[in-house]
Amino acid sequence: MSLSDVIARLPPGSPEALLARQIDGDRLPAHVAIIMDGNGRWAAQRHLPRVEGHRSGITSVREAVETSARLGIPVLTLYAFSIENWKRPRTEVSALMALLRRYLRSELHMLMEHGIRFRVVGRKDALSPEIQKELSDAERATAAHTGMQFNIALNYGGRAEIVDAVRAIVASGVSADKVTEKTVQSHLYIPEMPDPDLVIRTSGEARLSNFLLWEVAYSELLLSDVLFPDFRRDHLFDAVRQYQRRDRRFGAV
């Protein structure tokens, strides 16, 4: 699949097709990361329990994964549960974990069909043994895939990732004067992962909330007012289109 295949499948002349046509298929971001936010507010607007917002967000996840894979984006990372999200009521945390399990079960065939490689970033060992097993099974089943890499950030914290990297570096016995940025990079959760070119946050909040702190050093940030359950492929097309208009300088002129 590629951008032209994606465009060919969209209703001709539709707003989505018009947006997709403005994307340059040769300059796609190598890595798109999404801070999926606003599920609770989406539910509150409808006088529904918060968990209904999370449930509805599954459709947006599905669409983001399929659309990114079809566009030919090499890596997509979705922030699903932060280390700080344990502060939420137990019932909400359990509902989120149950939804994650249901998602994995229902989507594995789609990941197989699209040749998507699934990975988890975060402190997996603090999750329940059943969830750990399902995550590891999905990682194993898709390990040889060469299509898009789909990372889910779960029990993830950017500071925790840096702490874990520092611990691993210290344990490796390397002397302090030999530690470089490359040393740190090579001890991150997925060392070979390219930095996100584009970070999208939905729901109008303008903060990183401890997401990929090392990796976002030069990412382009795109803040969308859309609540995550309303996030559809046209929003993704628009984000990529806006990203391609940015002037990235990396400190140079």
Which residues in the 22-51 window bind ligand IPE by CB under 6 A?
35-41
Cβ nearer to ligand IPE, comparing 71 with 154: 154
Query: Does residue 13 come out as left (phi exceeding 0), alpha (psi in the -120 to 50 range) or beta?
Result: left
Both tokens of residue 86?
């344990």
209 binds, among Mg ion, ligand IPE, none (CB under 5 to 8 A by kind): ligand IPE
Under the binding rule (CB under 6 A), the answer on residue 79 touching ligand IPE is yes
Under the binding rule (CB under 6 A), the answer on residue 203 touching ligand IPE is yes
Instruction: Please check whether residue 154 is in contact with residue 120, taking contact to mean a CB–CB distance below 8 angstroms.
Output: yes
79 binds, among Mg ion, ligand IPE, none (CB under 5 to 8 A by kind): ligand IPE
Check if 37 is active-site.
yes
Question: Over the Cα atoms of the chain, what is R_g?
Answer: 18
Annotated active-site residue in 5, 26, 39, 85:
85
Q: Quick one: DSSP state of residue 200?
A: E
Residue from 209, 214, 216, 223 in contact with ligand IPE (CB under 6 A): 209
Under the binding rule (CB under 5 A), the answer on residue 34 touching Mg ion is no
**Residue 148 Cβ vs Mg ion, minimum distance, rounded to whole Å:** 26
List all residues 6 or more positions away from 184 whose beta carbon is below 8 Å from its beta carbon.
162, 165, 166, 169, 214
Under the binding rule (CB under 5 A), the answer on residue 54 touching Mg ion is no
Interhelix angle 90-113/129-141, nearest 10 degrees: 20
Query: Does residue 228 come out as left (phi exceeding 0), alpha (psi in the -120 to 50 range) or beta?
Result: alpha
Under the binding rule (CB under 5 A), the answer on residue 78 touching Mg ion is no
29 binds, among Mg ion, ligand IPE, none (CB under 5 to 8 A by kind): none
Burial bucket for residue 221 (CB in 10 Å: 0-12, 13-18, 19+): middle
Q: Of the listed pieces 79-87, 123-131, 173-181, 182-190, which binds ligand IPE according to CB under 6 A?
A: 79-87
Under the binding rule (CB under 6 A), the answer on residue 82 touching ligand IPE is yes
Burial bucket for residue 192 (CB in 10 Å: 0-12, 13-18, 19+): exposed
Cβ nearer to Mg ion, comparing 44 with 168: 44
Check if 39 is active-site.
no
Q: Of the listed pieces 36-44, 135-143, 155-163, 217-225, which binds Mg ion according to CB under 5 A?
A: 36-44
**Residue 37 Cβ vs Mg ion, minimum distance, rounded to whole Å:** 4
Residue from 58, 85, 147, 216 in contact with ligand IPE (CB under 6 A): 85
Measured between alpha carbons, how far is residue 48 from residues 23, 53, 86, 156 in Å? 37, 8, 22, 27
Return the active site residues.
37, 85
Rule CB under 5 A: which residues touch Mg ion?
37
